[in-house]
Amino acid sequence: MTRLNKFLSECGIASRRKSDELIAQGRVSVNGKIITELGFQVDENNDEIKLDGERIRAEKKVYFLLHKPKGTVTTTDDEKGRKTVLQYIRTKEKIFPVGRLDYNTTGLLLLTNDGEFANFIMHPSNKIPREYRVKLSRPLLGEDKTRLEKGIRLDDRKSRFTSIQYMDEKHAKRVKVKTVEGRNHFVKRMFMSLGYIVSDLSRESFGTFVLDIAKPGEYRQISEAEIHNFYKKYKK
């Protein structure tokens, strides 16, 4: 048995919170009966569940890993007519990107139709690590590296990279950084706060998922075993 709001969320109808609103508004029925009880349990395999009179069927959960290229937006559509990340993936399921990467940021991007998975991996309390490859406008000084690892004030709170690794010891313009932060433009703003401009940024990993596709614009489907291993590692 599954809570009705969870079922609606897993079907891609809305978040759990929004699903509760739909239920409270009397728009959801189970086996012909309007349900307004927020904790109502359903048998997703046998119950007939409808929203506004239209039957809802459980979607097959799918997960994709895309090597996002530059010049694409991380949205399902774009009012300016720019190319979106969805245009690279062939699937019949209605998927969406997990989080965002900036227009010219490249690297690992996850896409799915599993709202529960997306909420879990993005929720700040779960502290899912991300690793980025960064090119800076000038060499990163040792004292600034230490400051960024120990923590600086950003958005009026202490913020830090969990680690910074030099990729180019000679010039120190290229670094790899790890963080559990998912705030908008976090990597760029951290460096900018100390006077560095990020000229190139690529996400190399997110949790247990690693950018293992060399060519930008290509993708692969993530297996159920990979999803299981992810939850096994991070779910408390």
Q: What DSSP character marks residue 111?
A: E
**Percent of residues, the chain, with pLDDT higher than 70:** 100
Q: Is the pTM of this model over 0.75?
A: yes
Asked whether 149 and 160 are in contact (CB, 8 A), the reply is: yes
In order of 4, 158, 188, the CA distances from 53 in angstroms are: 16, 49, 47
Q: Which pLDDT score, from 0 to 100, does residue 171 have?
A: 75
CATH code for position 198: 3.30.70.1560
CATH code for position 38: 3.10.290.10
Say whether both 117 and 151 belong to one domain: no
Handedness of CA 225, 226, 230, 231 (dihedral sign): negative
Phi, psi of 152 (to 5 degrees): -130, 170
Q: Which pLDDT score, from 0 to 100, does residue 169 have?
A: 73
* Choice among 102, 155, 156, 212 that is catalytic: 102
- 102 catalytic, yes or no? yes
* Counted domains in the chain: 3
Q: Render pLDDT for 33-92 as a digit per residue (tens, 0 to 9).
A: 999 999 999 998 889 999 999 999 877 889 999 999 999 999 988 889 999 999 999 999
